[in-house]
C-alpha cells in the first residue's frame, strides 16, 4: 500500500493502529518463547502497515535485524569449553554474554538519555529544579532527585518515538516535577496506556539504580533517593485525571480494574502505606463513578500496571531509612 493510505495526511494518525498493536503483541509473545523467526515474520507484517519513513518503522527494522542476529546464535545448554578453562573469569564472561542483549539495551537507553539533554530549554529548566531541591535538601539529593524525574519523562519520550508520535522534550517546573507536550494524539487507548506507563517503568529503573548504589556504598543518601523516586512514580500511578495511572486505566475493563483495586488494598496492608489507599480510592472512583471501561481490556497493560505497583511497594519498604538518617540527609547541604 502507498504511504498515503497508511496514515492520515492531516493528523498523521496510523490507519491500522489496532492491527499493528495486535501484531506487536503476537511478536512479543514469540520473542518470549525464543521463537525468533516467527517473531521476525510478524514484525515484517507490521512494517507493511506503516509508512516507510515513520520513526516506528525504522525502530522495527532495527529490532528485526537484532532478532536475526539472535536467531543466528548457537543453541547450547552447556557452557563452552573455553569458559571452563578460564575458571571464575570464564563464568563471568559467559554470564555477560548470556545477558548481552540486556547490556546492549541498557547502553542504548543510556545514550538516548544523554542525547535528551541536548535541548537547551530542558537543561536550563532542569538546573532550576536542581537548585530548588538543593536549597531544601542539599545538592546531592537535589541533583539525584531531578535526574530521577528526568529518566521518568524520557521514558514517555522513548515510548512516543517508538509509536511514531511527535512530542516536546521534557520541561521542568521547580517544585512540581516535569512534563512532556504531545503534538500527536495516540491512536487508541492501548497505545496511550503504554506511553503513560513508560514513565513509571523508566522511573522504576532509576529507583533501582539508586537502591543498588545504596547497598554498594552504605550511603543513606542513595536510599533516600530510591525511596523518594519510588514515591513520586507511585503517585503518578494514581488512576485519575491525566496522571500516568489514569491513562493506564483507560485500557482496562471493569474486571481488570477490580483486580488492581484488590492489589492496591493488599499492598496498603502489607506495606503499611497510605499511598496505596489513595490509589485504591482513585481506582474505586474509576470503577463505580465513571463509564469509560472498554469492552475488552488490555492484558499487557494490566500486567505492567500490577508489576509496577508491587515493585514500588518493595522499593519503598527496603529503602526506608530510620528517622535519624533522614534528618542527616536533609541537613547535609554541602
Domain ranges of the chain: 3-76, 120-331
Q: pLDDT at residue 237 above 90?
A: yes
Residue among 274, 231, 280 nearest 259 (CA): 280
Tell me what the mean pLDDT of segment 163-178 comes to.
Answer: 87
**Rounded-to-integer distance, Cα 62 and Cα 9, Å:** 25
pLDDT of residue 248: 93
pLDDT at residue 332 tops 70: no
88-115 pLDDT tens trace = 445 555 555 554 444 445 555 565 676 6
* Other Cβ atoms closer than 10 A to 2: 6
Rounded CA gap, 237 and 219, in Å? 28
Q: What is the pTM of this model?
A: 0.66
* pLDDT greater than 80 at residue 56: no
The residues, ordered by sequence, that sit 6+ positions from 142 with a Cβ below 8 Å of its Cβ are: 130, 131, 132, 133, 134, 135, 136
Could you tell me if residue 223 is left (phi over 0), alpha (psi between -120 and 50 degrees) or otherwise beta? alpha
87 by DSSP, 3-state: which? coil
5-14, 201-210, 273-282: lowest mean pLDDT where?
5-14
Q: How confident is the model at residue 24 (pLDDT cuts 50, 70, 90)?
A: confident
Q: What is the pLDDT of residue 13?
A: 65
Amino acid at each position: 500500500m502507498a504511504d498515503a493510505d497508511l496514515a492520515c495526511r492531516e493528523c498523521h494518525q496510523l490507519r491500522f493502529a489496532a492491527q499493528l498493536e495486535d501484531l506487536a503483541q503476537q511478536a512479543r509473545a514469540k520473542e518470549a518463547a525464543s521463537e525468533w523467526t516467527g517473531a521476525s515474520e510478524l514484525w515484517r507484517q507490521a512494517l507493511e502497515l506503516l509508512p516507510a519513513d515513520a520513526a516506528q518503522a525504522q525502530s522495527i527494522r532495527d529490532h528485526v535485524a537484532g532478532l536475526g542476529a539472535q536467531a543466528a546464535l548457537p543453541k547450547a545448554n552447556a557452557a563452552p569449553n573455553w569458559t571452563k578453562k578460564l575458571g571464575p573469569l570464564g563464568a563471568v564472561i559467559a554470564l555477560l554474554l548470556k545477558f548481552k542483549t540486556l547490556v546492549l539495551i541498557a547502553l542504548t537507553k543510556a545514550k538516548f538519555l544523554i542525547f535528551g539533554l541536548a535541548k537547551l530549554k530542558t537543561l536550563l529548566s532542569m538546573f532550576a529544579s536542581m537548585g530548588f531541591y538543593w536549597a531544601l535538601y542539599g545538592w546531592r539529593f537535589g541533583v539525584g532527585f531531578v535526574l530521577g524525574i528526568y529518566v521518568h519523562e524520557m521514558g514517555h519520550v522513548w515510548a512516543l518515538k517508538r509509536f511514531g508520535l511527535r512530542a516536546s522534550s521534557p520541561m521542568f517546573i521547580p517544585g512540581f516535577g516535569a512534563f512532556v507536550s504531545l503534538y500527536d494524539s495516540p491512536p487508541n487507548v492501548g497505545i496511550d496506556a503504554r506511553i503513560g506507563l513508560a514513565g513509571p517503568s523508566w522511573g522504576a529503573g532509576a529507583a533501582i539504580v539508586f537502591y543498588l548504589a545504596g547497598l554498594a556504598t552504605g550511603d543513606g543518601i542513595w536510599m533516600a533517593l530510591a525511596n523518594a523516586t519510588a514515591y513520586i512514580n507511585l503517585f503518578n500511578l494514581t488512576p485519575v485525571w491525566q496522571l500516568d495511572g489514569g491513562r493506564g486505566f483507560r485500557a482496562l475493563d471493569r474486571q481488570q480494574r477490580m483486580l488492581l483495586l484488590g492489589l492496591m488494598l493488599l499492598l496498603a496492608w502489607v506495606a503499611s502505606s497510605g499511598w496505596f489507599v489513595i490509589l485504591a480510592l482513585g481506582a474505586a472512583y474509576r470503577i463505580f463513578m465513571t463509564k469509560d471501561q472498554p469492552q475488552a481490556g488490555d492484558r499487557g497493560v494490566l500486567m505492567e500496571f500490577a508489576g509496577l505497583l508491587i515493585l514500588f511497594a518493595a522499593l519503598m519498604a527496603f529503602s526506608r531509612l530510620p528517622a535519624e538518617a533522614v534528618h542527616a540527609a536533609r541537613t547535609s547541604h554541602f
